[in-house]
A and B are shown apart, each in its own frame.
Chain A
Amino acid sequence: MIDLWLIFRILVFPGFTFILFLTLFCDWVERKLEARIQNRVGPMVAGPGGILQPLADFIKLLTKEDIEPRDTKKLVFRYAPLAAFSIMMFAMCFLPIDGASVISTGGFSGDLIIILAFATIANFLLFMAGWASANPYGTIGSARVLTQFLGYDIPLYLLALTPAFIAGSIQIATIASSFPYILLAPWAFILFIITMQAELEKDPFDVPHSESEVVGGLETEYTGAKLAFLHLTRDVQVVFGSALVVELFLGGPNGPVFFGLDWLFYTLWFVLKLLIVVVISEYITTVVARLRIDQVLTGNWKILLPAALLSLIAAVALATWVYHPFGIGMAVGV
């Protein structure tokens, strides 16, 4: 029998539609913040304060002509953007937004690893999207995407496991409802934000999108609806990355609840914390320049990876000898 409540949760709230509008909203926040830092106004005409601008951009791209060069690998070229978008949306469904994740069974032990794997697969699909376009700029751009995200995945996993080690669980809902781990491992929080910048390909790790070198990067040959979904995938990745930070380090959707409306207040706390992380990430993006590809790789293998290892060792040591004997930070069952 069809569970209408589950379908509602998946499709509308807190599932597909809600995440879609949250993505467009975060895009607007990013653009407005970047504009204000640069002393200009940003979007201001579409809707009050320009809030409908990302939606307008998406619809505009959907109406444009969709050109496919003759030499592309058709299957991959056509469906990679859509596949990447779907996988990212699916990964978002595991994160607790209104107190419980979309599929509302509280997840399962190990879903942290699964959603990180989904993010990697989505990035890999984006790489294949650029590789399938018959364009040297696309090839170079997607090769850079691959180099960057594969390299930075290792510190990402290590740092994502730091709160998991302190909590003693690898289930996101458990970690989220245990403790705001930013207080117990602040160095891991800072390193995780930086690694997330590299995963999301934002400045200073913006190399795959550098127009002055590779024109459009992996998006060079894409037009119309496929380009709309590529942009949307990138925006959903931003929300996903920030949501992961919120869940792992800031305590997820937990916060004070009034009037017993737990779904409303949990969602509000989640969105508030998400916006804080998005603002921090966009601030870093705006104030620095873009690094060269070899500087990005040096930063990864020589600086970030040893730092992530050290951070993990420090966190485990602190957990074993300081936190757990006092009962701080241990997993609270969901």
Chain B
Amino acid sequence: MAEQKKKGKSRISPIFKRAVSHLFTKPATTKYPFVKPQLPADSRGKLVYEIKDCNAIDFGCGPDFRLDIKALRGSNCQVCVRDCPAGAIQIVEVEGKKRPQIDLNKCVFCYQCVETCPRGAIKQSDFYELATTDKGALVMKPEYKNKKEAS
């Protein structure tokens, strides 16, 4: 090995110098959790569900060229339930009305529901620190914030 290194004076691998120069450069590590990385504003993080915008009992959900109106069944909108690839959205009863419940355990954050919802009730956010030790905390139960919203 020594012979090879001594002979190849003009053909030395560049890594020898690079290794030494790296000792004097700043490391490339982001020291998470002390330093948090900067994410683009439109990255796909946790979903935000605005119950006041949702209208799951309406029939004929508004003009949206991505929907095929004939394919809607029944008198509930529920397009988010139908289009979720992971089956993460279920309908529950809240104050006598049917609303979607999003289970973030199963969600793959594809944002198909964000696109499909004709009223924009499910919105994007870039919050990504969802790790928790309690699975139940990841189920987003729909609830009204005050009486006014419920009417």
Contact of A37 among B2, B13, B19, B28 (CB under 8 A): B19
Interface residues of A in 194-216 (CB under 8 A from B): 194, 204
How far is it, in angstroms, between the C-alpha of A194 and the C-alpha of B29 when the chains are bound? 32
A41 near B15: Cβ-Cβ < 8 Å: no
How far is it, in angstroms, between the C-alpha of A44 and the C-alpha of B32 when the chains are bound? 12
A194 near B2: Cβ-Cβ < 8 Å: yes
In the assembled complex, B3 has its CB within 8 A of some CB on chain A? yes
- Given A40-B28, A41-B31, the answer on whether A286 and B3 have CB atoms closer than 8 Å is no
Total contacts A-B at CB 8 Å: 37
Interface residues of A in 25-74 (CB under 8 A from B): 33, 35-41, 44
User: Could you tell me the dominant secondary structure of chain A's interface residues?
Assistant: helix
B22 near A36: Cβ-Cβ < 8 Å: yes
Residue from the set A40, A204, A287 with the largest chain B CB neighbour count within 10 Å: A287
In the assembled complex, A309 has its CB within 8 A of some CB on chain B? no
Instruction: Report the minimum CB–CB distance from B106 to chain A (whole Å).
Output: 34
Instruction: Report the minimum CB–CB distance from A199 to chain B (whole Å).
Output: 14
How far is it, in angstroms, between the C-alpha of A35 and the C-alpha of B25 when the chains are bound? 12
Residue from the set B1, B16, B19 with the largest chain A CB neighbour count within 10 Å: B1
How far is it, in angstroms, between the C-alpha of A37 and the C-alpha of B19 when the chains are bound? 5
Q: Interface readout for A176-204 with B: 1 if CB under 8 Å, 0 if not?
A: 00000000000000110010000000001
Interface size grouping (class) on chain A: 10 to 19
A190 near B2: Cβ-Cβ < 8 Å: yes
What are 22 A-B contacts with C-beta separation under 8 Å? Answer: A35-B27, A36-B22, A36-B23, A36-B27, A37-B22, A37-B23, A38-B22, A39-B22, A39-B27, A39-B28, A40-B27, A40-B28, A40-B29, A41-B29, A190-B2, A191-B2, A286-B19, A287-B13, A303-B1, A303-B3, A307-B2, A307-B3
Residue from the set B3, B16, B20, B27 with the largest chain A CB neighbour count within 10 Å: B27
Q: Which residue of B lies closest to A36 (CB)?
A: B23
How far is it, in angstroms, between the C-alpha of A287 and the C-alpha of B2 when the chains are bound? 14
Interface residues of A in 271-292 (CB under 8 A from B): 283, 286-287
How far is it, in angstroms, between the C-alpha of A217 and the C-alpha of B75 when the chains are bound? 66
> Which of chain B's residues have a CB closer than 8 A to the CB of A307?
2-3
A-B pairs, 7 with minimum CB distance? A37-B19, A41-B29, A41-B27, A39-B28, A40-B29, A287-B19, A287-B15
> Which of chain A's residues have a CB closer than 8 A to the CB of B13?
287
B29 near A204: Cβ-Cβ < 8 Å: no
How far is it, in angstroms, between the C-alpha of A33 and the C-alpha of B24 when the chains are bound? 11
In the assembled complex, A136 has its CB within 8 A of some CB on chain B? no
Contact of A299 among B1, B22, B31 (CB under 8 A): B1
Instruction: Report the minimum CB–CB distance from A35 to chain B (whole Å).
Output: 7
Q: Which residue of A lies closest to B16 (CB)?
A: A287
How far is it, in angstroms, between the C-alpha of A303 and the C-alpha of B7 when the chains are bound? 14
> Which of chain A's residues have a CB closer than 8 A to the CB of B29?
40-41
> Which of chain A's residues have a CB closer than 8 A to the CB of B27?
35-36, 39-41
